[in-house]
């Protein structure tokens, strides 16, 4: 059974995080190993702390104005393997082990399953 | 010399993009090949179109309230190889060929060069 690996962030690291007017920060979720970008979500200070302490991603739903722990409904939990913050502290990056089918509520592995362009082949990196 | 590869997005694809109250959408930038997440920026409808048509990333600076074409100052341009939009259309993902030293204004390759935790080694995926 996979369990969460807590990350002990220092007060200085946590103080570097810059929240917007709504008290939120963007969080990019990336699959460990493949590097696939799975989704983007929002966290507030509380759900960021819970994510780091529990080793599972927890977000803030802007539409529902509620805490939202990934996988509680779908079963597709995200186990945090590493957590980064960017140069100006307003975006976070979590490398995770995605459980189950994937990160997207549509059943796709990644929320970014659609590309701009005339056909999927035409925008594949392999074609360049 | 590297040049931009235009991406012909359909009107239907462009109409799927959902802008926030400020007319902006988040854009994640990922390095082709390595999968490194380089940075996160914001685009409006105009800079998204310019990005797709020119094959170079163009953003909207919220702090300066101005169009900002990546690399015009630093020289470190980003050449778009593929462009994706997420399930609810409010986040974009661009796979790019990053020129020069990197994406970050600090000189780092990625803006996410700092990790939460007691030491870089302790949060490396290799330790899990």
pLDDT for res A4: 83
**Which neighbouring-strand residues pair with A78?**
A98
Q: Are A45 and A19 in contact (CB under 8 A)?
A: yes
At residue A43, the pLDDT reads: 98
Q: Best of A112, A125, A127 to disrupt the B interface by mutation (most B CBs within 10 Å)? A: A112
Angle at B112 between CA A40 and CA B69, to 5 degrees: 80
pLDDT at residue B128, rounded to an integer: 42
Alpha helices in B31-115 (DSSP H): 45-54
CA distance A9 to B91: 27
Please choose, from the candidates B98, B38, B80, the residue with its C-alpha nearest in 3D space to the C-alpha of residue A116: B80
Residue given tokens 């939460």 in the structure block: B116
Q: Which of A109-123, B35-49, B95-109 has the lowest mean pLDDT?
A: A109-123
Element (H, E) at A25: strand A25-31
Kindly provide the ipTM of the predicted complex, given to two decimals.
0.91
The rounded distance, in Å, linking the Cα atoms of B77 and B99 is 5
pLDDT single digits (tens) B1-18: 677 899 999 999 999 999
- For an interface test with A, the pick among B82, B93, B94, B120 (most A C-beta atoms closer than 10 Å) comes out as B82
Q: Residues of A numbered 30-89 whose beta carbons fall under 8 angstroms of chain B's beta carbons: which are they?
A: 30, 32-37, 39-40, 52, 81-88
At residue A2, does pLDDT exceed 90?
no
Tens-digit pLDDT profile for residues A21-77: 999 999 999 999 999 999 999 999 999 999 999 999 999 999 999 999 999 999 999
Size of interface A-B (CB pairs under 8 A): 128
Q: Residues B36-52: pLDDT tens digits?
A: 999 999 999 999 999 99
Band of the pLDDT at B33, cuts 50, 70, 90?
very high
């Amino acid at each position: 059974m996979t369990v969460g690996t807590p990350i002990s962030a220092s007060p200085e690291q946590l103080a570097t995080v810059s929240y917007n007017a709504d008290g939120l920060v963007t969080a990019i979720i990336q699959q460990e190993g493949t590097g696939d970008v799975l989704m983007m979500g929002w966290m507030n200070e509380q759900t960021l702390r819970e994510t780091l302490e529990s080793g599972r991603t927890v977000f803030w739903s802007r539409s529902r104005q509620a805490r939202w722990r990934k996988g509680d409904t779908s079963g597709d939990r995200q186990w945090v393997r590493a957590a980064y913050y960017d140069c100006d502290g307003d975006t976070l990056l979590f490398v995770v082990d995605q459980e189950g089918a994937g990160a997207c509520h549509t059943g796709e592995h990644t929320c970014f399953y659609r590309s701009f362009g005339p056909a999927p082949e035409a925008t594949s990196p392999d074609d360049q």
